[in-house]
Amino acid sequence: MKRFLLFASCFLFALCSFAQKNMTKIIRPKVVVGIVVDQMRWDYLYRFYDLYKADGGFRRLLGDGFSCDNTMVPYLPTVTACGHTCIYTGSVPAIHGITGNNWWDNNLNREMYCTEDKKVTTVGSSSIEPGQMSPANVQVTTITDELRLATNFKNKVIGISMKDRGAIIPAGHSANAAYWYDGKTGNFITSTYYMQELPDWMKQFNGRKLVDSFYKQNWNLALAKDKYVQYCDDDANPYESKPFGANALTMPYQLDQFANSDYSKITVTPFANDLLASLAKSAIVAEHMGKTPETDFLTVSFSSTDYVGHAFGPNSWELMDTYVRLDETLGNLFAFLDKTLGKDQYTVFLTADHAGAHVPEFLAKHAIPGGRWDDNAIKKELTAMLQKEFGIDSLINYVGEYNVYLNRASLLRNRIDMDKVKNTIRNYLLKNDKVLQVVDLANANAATVPLPVREMVINGYNPAHSGDLQIIMKTGIMDSGPTGMSHGVWNAYDAHIPLVWMGWGIKPGHTTREVYMTDIAATVAALLHIQMPSGCVGKVITEIAP
């Protein structure tokens, strides 16, 4: 028996070796479609499951695809720019350099926006600032860059989103194009980093003024009213923002008033998702994606889920309605890909850049801990305290993403010991009943916080772009204004995201083992038989790419 098993093992090994040696061609999908749903909590897949359509996108993903049900963000802060960068680089802020949507650059001594680039100009609009953007601040390659390298730049990579950072960062340094929305004109724009003029097909797309068509539909309930009562909080709540006017308190919303006038309002509606899906279809057809021997890559980041979530919160009628409509939008997009590229000829993954917390006032109604925090107010408070303690009112440069940035030049000039200032701030903040812990980032390894939190802090620390102290909030505390909600902390409500794969190379199933956002790029690399991105620290999800 042992001899038989040994013989069988040797035979199988020889067979596999023979097959590998005689592999004549690397097989890849025609197109990879990377979908990021901005601010999507993992539980939305199942919380609204009964409301999703049988032919909708979410049920199809869960039925035909493979779901990684415990996918976690492994760094701080859990915000949009960091999330998109991590997904596509497989790296963390400590390495890739994107430490927030905004940060204080300790070398340049000024505030920096994640994709700002003053060396480039807008293409497609007379607006100046919206187009001064590029991926220059990302310090490593993306999986889209690696695919371009692997094909000797013969394939196409295009990124689209309502947000500049949602389009630019996923597409990478070597992309053919990235397009994002200009709320002043209602057009999609780009920058001279990519091209000097919009292609004709994009000019034609912008010329259709689809935003006005969506506005004229108004935002009515997609489902019967009793469904919203069953799944959501009250329709009108004082904790909700009022993006459509002070008197627009409940659904439905009259959007036709904004036609031909205010093109920014579309972002806080589910119709921005339809607009983006229409652009995705146009890009695939016009750019002939999937029609050459090389694998193309389209990155799509649906941003309106974030805008709606911030304004109304996870338990609002508006948020549920947005996901019900997104389900249908995704279903139509997948049907289009089936028809245009062929079913199982493309690979798609859907994930999120971060999740989101429940609104503190909603939690309070149910006796659950929570509260609000204001970084700007804390900066003023700390400045006044340090003025009293040290006689200097210029010891803090910036407070953002729960980071406190000290003014090192002022400390040196006034011969004030940095460690003494850190300890003074730490002791002061720990008296605040909303603060759990304050970590000295330069010595985060020695921080007395639980190991998972400490690892997230370390992974988020980049000396050039991070602060000197990291504030760890108590559960349910968020940095936001007086209404709406936010995200950015280590807790599962911000760090637990969906990750579902479908199409070419994917077998249906799911896993409950913990995987990380950093694993996405590594897994795509394994599926495509290309190199991982240059800063990748993720591991291949072997259930996807064995």
CATH code, domain carrying 177? 3.40.720.10
CA distances from 386 to 390, 395, 398, 442, 495 (A): 6, 7, 14, 21, 33
Task: Determine the length of the chain.
Answer: 546
Q: Is residue 119 part of a domain?
A: yes
Looking at the fold, whether 379 and 248 belong to one and the same domain comes out as: no
In a domain, 488, yes or no: no
| 524/442 same-domain check | no
Which of 478, 166, 134 has the alpha carbon at shortest distance from 304? 166
- At residue 127, the pLDDT reads 85
**Together in a domain, 347 and 416:** no
Residue 259 domain flag = yes
**pLDDT in the model for residue 352:** 98
Looking at the structure, tell me whether residues 144 and 122 fall in a common domain.
Answer: yes
* Same domain for 249 and 382: no
Which residues lie below 8 Å from residue 168, measured CB to CB, with a gap of 6+?
A: 115, 133, 134, 135, 159, 178, 180
- Catalytic annotation on 351? no
- Look up the CATH number of the domain holding residue 397: 3.30.1360.150
Domain's final residue, options 474, 505, 537: 474
pLDDT of residue 25: 81
- Residue bearing tokens 């953007």: 133
pLDDT reported for residue 8: 46
Considering the domain architecture, whether residues 449 and 349 belong to the same structural domain is answered as no
Structure tokens, 411: 């400390």
- What count of other Cβ atoms lies within 10 Å of the Cβ of residue 154? 10
Residue 11 falls inside a structural domain: no
| Same domain as 381, residue 272 | no
Is residue 233 in some structural domain?
yes
- Say whether both 145 and 108 belong to one domain: yes
pLDDT of residue 546: 86
* pLDDT by residue, tens only, the chain of 546 residues: 444 444 444 444 444 444 444 556 889 999 999 999 999 999 999 999 999 999 999 999 999 999 999 999 999 999 999 999 999 999 999 999 999 999 999 999 999 999 999 999 999 998 889 999 999 999 999 999 999 999 999 999 999 999 999 999 999 999 999 999 999 999 999 999 999 999 999 999 999 999 999 999 999 999 999 999 999 999 999 999 999 999 999 999 999 999 999 999 999 999 999 999 999 999 999 999 999 999 999 999 999 999 999 999 999 999 999 999 999 999 999 999 999 999 999 999 999 999 999 999 999 999 999 999 999 999 999 999 999 999 999 999 999 999 999 999 999 999 999 999 999 999 999 999 999 999 999 999 999 999 999 999 999 999 999 999 999 999 999 999 999 999 999 999 999 999 999 999 999 999 999 999 999 999 999 999 999 999 999 999 999 998
User: Phi and psi (nearest 5°) for 56?
Assistant: -80, 175
Tokens standing for 46?
């199942």
Lookup result for tokens 């305290």 = 385
- Asked whether residue 486 is domain-assigned, the answer is no
| 209 located within any domain | yes
Cα separation of 215 and 40, whole Å? 24
Residues 348 and 239 occupy one common structural domain: yes
Task: Give the pTM.
Answer: 0.95
> How far is it, in rounded angstroms, from Cα 39 to Cα 471?
22
Q: What is the pLDDT of residue 14?
A: 45
Q: Show Cβ contacts of residue 20 under 8 Å, excluding neighbours closer than 6 positions.
A: none
Give the range of the structural domain holding residue 65, as residue numbers without chain letter. 31-363+495-528
Are 410 and 509 contained in the same domain? no
Q: Are residues 68 and 144 in the same domain?
A: yes
Partners of 219 in beta bridges: 253
Say whether both 37 and 70 belong to one domain: yes
With a CB cutoff of 8 Å and minimum separation 6, the contacts of 459 are 74, 75, 76, 92, 93, 94
Catalytic residue among 24, 71, 78, 80: 80
Residue 12 domain flag: no
C-alpha 109/C-alpha 465 separation (Å) is 10
Count structural domains, the chain: 2
